[in-house]
Amino acid sequence: MQLFIGQINGNTALLSDEEARHFTKVLRGKPGQIINVIDGSGKMGTGEVSLISTHSVEIKLDSVIENFEKRNYHLHIAVSPTKTMDRTEIHIEKALEIGVD
């Protein structure tokens, strides 16, 4: 099962244009395949690919989890800015990857 970013609306989900292209062209996804979709605002759905078109993939969701991976705590970090923005961007990127709010 792969994880994709899309829009979850009730019991269906649509993959974004870029995600749909990756699913169909690169991964050679087919209808009937089971995948996970997250919407970026806390919902995760698991379902079966029902329709594949040129620029979209539709998933019929079996289950939707609200507040996916929601923690009961907040993790904060203080950053001292450096002279080069590249280092600051890398620092923020890595901090977000480990779950810093």
**CATH code for the domain of 52:** 2.40.240.20
Using DSSP's 3-state secondary structure scheme, residue 21 falls into helix
Shared domain for 14 and 30, answered yes or no, is yes
Shared domain for 98 and 54, answered yes or no, is no
Shared domain for 96 and 58, answered yes or no, is no
Per-residue pLDDT of the chain (101 residues; tens, 9 = 90+): 567 677 788 888 888 788 888 888 888 888 888 988 887 777 788 888 888 887 888 889 888 877 777 777 777 777 777 777 788 888 888 887 776 76
Strands 44-52 and 34-38: antiparallel
CB atoms within 10 A of CB 68: 14
Shared domain for 77 and 61, answered yes or no, is no
How far is C-alpha 61 from the chain's CA centre?
15
pTM beyond 0.85? no
75/101 Cα distance (integer angstroms): 6
